[in-house]
Amino acid sequence: MVPGARSFDLAGGNGGAYRIMVAVPAGAPPPGGFPVLYHLDGNAVFGSMVEAMRIQGARGAATGVAPGVIVGIGTAVDGPFDKLRRTLDYTPAADPATLGERPDGGAWSETGGADAFVEVIESQVKPLVAGLAPVDPARQALFGHSLGGLVALHMLLTRPLAFARIVAVSPSLWWNGGALLRDLDARCAALPAGRARVMIAVGGAEEPAETPGEDAHAARRRAHRLVTNARAFADRLPADEFRILPGENHGSAVHAALGAALRFALPAMIETTHHDRRDTAPGSP
């Protein structure tokens, strides 16, 4: 556990316990309360997220990052991931017969628990955090990677006012035959004007070109069109910020995105204009 952080186990949702890790900045909160960044895959990313925030938040005028509460949402396991729970919690409902094989080549475990998981965040995790520190309900953000990025965008479309900002890194938009992207235009028409601002990032190496003798993993990644789909979602939403992370793959993109994600999710100064879309590599695939 990160020094100074606290950990809580919560029951509910899709069964089993959720491990909630909370780090509150030192010092007095701003008048409206601290901003909050909730992030998924808490077991794997919490330490990195907290240290990045502490370093950058201490020099907000230079870094653009405000001190904020970091909340890691994980599961009660010792390792970085609980593969079965992650697959259940982070996927919207889908017909198992249409899913094909997993990206790692294996069979799918239970899926489709995203809405129950989202309800845990809203009904249990947010009240827990509000009881630990003064927080600003208007400055709450959500960060997710891969399937976590998928459920973050699902939450944007189903609960568009739940967060002020959403960061989706390498979102798994191939899920369920690309349903989230396929239905985006119709679902965007129903979004309120005050819906969450969105940053989407993806590694530049996540959609590899076909090469002779490539392994099955590379072929599956290319078929998932992670870069193409992320760009299309960002264009059609539209996202406030879109970034290609040059040279980064699916595993490395989450850490490569942390600096930009913190500036977007915990801005030291609130922007007055929307849709300041930036693409760091316009010529990337």
> What are the residue boundaries of the structural domains of the chain, listed by start?
6-265
Whole-model pTM: value is 0.91
Q: Is the pLDDT of residue 13 over 50?
A: yes
Give the model's pLDDT for residue 214: 66
Q: Quick one: residue 233, left, alpha or beta (phi over 0 = left, psi -120 to 50 = alpha)?
A: alpha
Please confirm, yes or no, whether 252 is among the known catalytic residues: no
Give the model's pLDDT for residue 110: 85
Choice among 39, 145, 146, 170 that is catalytic = 146
Choice among 110, 119, 122, 214 that is catalytic = 214
User: Which pLDDT band holds residue 285 (cuts at 50, 70, 90)?
Assistant: very low
- Of 63-72, 93-102, 151-160, the poorest mean pLDDT is in 93-102
- Beta bridge partner(s), residue 145: 169
Percent with pLDDT over 90 in the chain: 72
User: Which pLDDT band holds residue 216 (cuts at 50, 70, 90)?
Assistant: low
pLDDT tens digits along 78-123? 878 788 889 999 999 988 777 777 776 677 888 899 999 999 999 9
Q: What is the mean pLDDT of residues 5-29?
A: 90
Please confirm, yes or no, whether 250 is among the known catalytic residues: yes
Give the model's pLDDT for residue 217: 67
Please confirm, yes or no, whether 172 is among the known catalytic residues: no
CATH architecture of 6-265: 3-Layer(aba) Sandwich (3.40)
Residue 194: burial class (beta carbons within 10 Å; 0-12, 13-18, 19+): exposed
Q: In what order do the strands lie in the sheet with 165-169?
A: 6-11, 17-23, 69-75, 34-40, 135-145, 165-169, 197-203, 241-245
Give the model's pLDDT for residue 50: 95
> Rounded to 10 degrees, what is the CA torsion of 226, 120, 198, 262?
-100
Residue 244 token pair: 């290609």
Q: Is the pLDDT of residue 277 over 90?
A: no
